[in-house]
Structures are given as structure tokens and as C-alpha cells.
Amino acid sequence: MIRWTFFIALGLWLLVLVGLKLLIAPPIPASVLTLYLVMTTVAIVLFVMANEDRWRAFQAPLRAVFEGRVPRFVQAAVLIALPVLVMGAAYLRLAPTHDAPFEPRVVHPEPPSGFNLKGKRISVSGLKNPLRTDGPELAARIAEGKNIYYRNCFFCHGDSLAGDGHFAGVFRPIPANFRDVGTLSMLQESYVFWRVATGGSGLPKGATPWNSAMPVWQDFLSEDEIWKVVLYIYAGSGSTPRTWEEGTHAGHQ
């Protein structure tokens, strides 16, 4: 096995690359992918260098190429491939893209009058968070909501709820910044509950081209779990939910 150290190390590195690119959803942003690949490279190199026999076996194919101990077509292929790969990487970083210009959120999409939640019809108008009470149990519910948030929402909306999670950069528009004074404090909790429960696919046609990559969380969380997340989002961001007495259309600014 030691004899094939170089090819095993290269195969492992490529396997990690393919796994990160194809098996993880949502897609990993390029900066995060680069970080993971650097860590993988360092780990492989440290493992190989920890044993002299492995290290010599790892270097052997490289030495054979650059010292002329392999067929000329192999040398030519390697010497051509290296600058081509460098030029390709440089081109991918500098080439213009055809993506639409980034447009920040300027309005919240207007919610429908009602939506389906786990087989039942929910009316948005007048809907209040049933778990927001004045008793001591509120703190426990917020703590549970925090736990649910960090298991499901943290990766996009971030540790500080500012829309700057690990995967945030890959989405257009980027995840909502809950610390923005123009976001949560302008909305009733029922609006946030609707958006979380129905996700991007729940946006009405009238919201086009306002877009969202958020999953349909009612497929993964219970009704109470979603309400608890809503409690935590408001508490964690220092926001106060808008009441129905302040206005009936949370979708307008």
C-alpha cells in the first residue's frame, strides 16, 4: 500500500472535493469550499510526512516525472496540464458572470390571506403566537427555539441572526438579516410564521420576482417548534413583534 501513497492521497483529496460539491445541500459557498479543501490538504500532507517510507513513496512519482524517468508523453502531459490548470483557475476567478445584478430586499412580499399547514388551513389575518405568554414558561420556550434555530437555521441566517451564516453568500437574495430594524420589528409574528412554515415555494405569484431559497420548514418541524423559533428570532435579535393593532398588512413598508 505504501508504494501507492501518492495516488491514494490524490484519490482521497478528489473524493473529498466531489463529496463537498455534489453531496451537500444547500451548495457550499466557494470560500467555505476552499477552506475545507485547504484543511483536507494539510491533513493529508501531515499524515504522509509522519512516516518516512510514506513520504518517500509520495515523492517518488513526482521525482520520476521531473527527473525524466517516465515516458516523454507523460512528462509533456504533466508540464502542459500544470499551467493550464493555473490559467483555468485564474480565468474562473476573473471572468465576468451572467448573473443578474444583486438587488437588496426593499419590501416584504405580501402574505396570502391563508395557507395550508400540515393539512389544515391557517388564516394569517389576526393570527397570534399561541406560545407568547406572560408566564415563566416563555423563557423556556425561547431557549427551546434557540436550540431549534441552531440545529436548522444557523447555517444561513448566522450566529448573530444577521443573515451572515456559512452558506449565506451562495444565495440571491441573501438570507434575511433579523437585526435590521426594517425587518422583524415591521412584521407580525404571524408573517414570520408563514414565511418559515411555507418557505420559498410558499411565496404567492404576486411576489415574483422576489425570491427565496428557504426550505418548507413545516415538512421538518412541528407547529409548536416553528412558533418557538419565531419566539427566539425576536428575542435573539432584540426586536419587538408588530401587533395587529399597529396595522393589518405586515407585508407593506
The C-alpha angle 235, 123, 198, rounded to 5 degrees, equals 65
Would you say residue 36 lies in a domain? yes
| Between 245 and 100, residue with greater pLDDT | 245
Mean pLDDT (whole number) for 181-185: 81
Tell me the per-residue pLDDT of 225-236, one tens digit each, with 9 for 90 and over.
999 999 999 999
Residues 25 and 121 in one domain: no
Report pLDDT digits (tens) over 146-167. 999 999 999 999 999 998 988 8
Asked whether residue 106 is assigned to any structural domain, the reply reads no
- In the prediction, which pLDDT does 8 show? 92
Asked if 85 and 144 sit in the same domain, the reply is no
Q: Do 88 and 135 fall within a single domain? A: no
Q: Does 147 reside within a domain? A: yes
What domain range is 205 assigned to? 114-246
| Same domain, residue pair 45 and 136 | no
What confidence category does residue 117 fall into, taking pLDDT thresholds of 50, 70 and 90? very high
216 to each of 27, 62, 148, 221, how far by Cα in Å? 17, 50, 15, 9
In terms of domains, do 25 and 143 share one?
A: no
Query: Mind listing the pLDDT tens digit for each residue in 79-106?
Result: 898 889 888 878 767 766 554 444 545 4
Instruction: Give the pLDDT band of residue 249 (cuts 50, 70, 90).
Output: very low
Structure confidence at residue 209 as a pLDDT band (50, 70, 90): low
Helix (H) / strand (E) containing 122 = strand 120-123
Residue 142 sits in the same domain as residue 241? yes
**Residue 102 within any structural domain of the chain:** no
What pLDDT shows up at residue 76?
87
Give whole-number Cα distances, 107 to 13, 29, 202, 251, in Å: 44, 26, 17, 7
Q: Does the pLDDT value for residue 30 go beyond 80?
A: no
| Domain termination site, one of 94, 127, 151 | 94
Confidence of residue 242 (pLDDT cuts 50, 70, 90): confident
- Summarize the confidence of residues 127-148 as an average pLDDT: 93
Do 136 and 80 lie in one domain? The reply is no
Number of domains in the chain: 2
Question: What CATH number does the domain containing 119 carry?
Answer: 1.10.760.10
Burial tier of 110 (Cβ tally within 10 Å: 0-12, 13-18, 19+): middle
Dihedral sign, Cα of residue 211, residue 156, residue 191, residue 234: negative
Whether residue 235 is found in the same domain as residue 133: yes
Within a domain: 180: yes
* Largest separation between any pair of C-alpha atoms in the chain: 82
Q: What is the pLDDT of residue 15?
A: 94
Q: Are residues 20 and 119 in the same domain?
A: no
How distant, in Å, are the alpha carbons of 12, 124, 169, 214 from that of 208? 43, 20, 21, 15
pLDDT of residue 3: 86
Q: Are residues 85 and 173 in the same domain?
A: no
Question: Do 56 and 122 belong to one domain?
Answer: no
If asked whether residues 143 and 90 sit together in one domain, one would say no
Indicate if the pLDDT at residue 250 is higher than 50: no
